[in-house]
Every structure is written in structure tokens, then in C-alpha cells.
Amino acid sequence: MVKVHIPTALRTFSGGRGEVEIEGNASLRAVFERLNAACPGIREQLLDEEGIMPGIAIFINDEQETEGLIQRVPADGTIHILPAMGGGVIT
């Protein structure tokens, strides 16, 4: 099973869970479809018609994805979703 770490900002879609286990050994697109089945509505927060939304970084086994949604996710992988950070003032 793939462990998907859900950032705090998206936990309303995961029922408050910080980690969700999804079947892996598939493309990142397929894993996100499975994640959406377990956490309805999360896909729209991560993907647009072009692929992964700008400002969202996806790490698979501590390596940033480089192939977009076709990247393979191993059966026992770990995915970290890092949304864009905003706010703050530089002085």
C-alpha cells in the first residue's frame, strides 16, 4: 500500500486523517483517482486539466516527481503532497 501524507490544508477531504493508504504499483494519475475515491473532492484540489496544479509539489519516496501524472508509484511507496505556501511579509 502507498502511504499518502495529506497536508493540514486538505484534511477536510480526508476526514481529518494525516495519512491515507491507497493501492499503489500504478501511475500517479491512478493513485490520485484511488485517493479521490477514498477522499472525495481532493482531486480538484490537486489536479487541473493540464495535470498537477501549479504550486503543488508531489514527492514520491522523497524524490520530487519529474514525469507528471505518468510517473510510476511503487506498491510500497510514500507520497507527500506539498501545497504552495503563501502570505507573510519580507522586511
Secondary structure (DSSP) of 39-79: STT-HHHHEETTEEPTT-EEEETTEE-SSGGG-EE-TT-EE
Q: Could you tell me which residues come within 8 angstroms of residue 51 by beta carbon, excluding any fewer than 6 positions away? A: 68, 69
What pLDDT, on the 0 to 100 scale, is given for residue 84? 72
Q: What is the pTM of this model?
A: 0.86
Place domain 2-82 in its CATH homologous superfamily. Beta-grasp domain (3.10.20.30)
pLDDT tens string, the chain, 91 residues long: the values are 999 999 999 999 999 999 999 998 999 999 999 999 999 999 999 999 889 999 899 999 999 998 999 999 999 999 999 987 665 555 5
Domain boundaries, the chain: 2-82
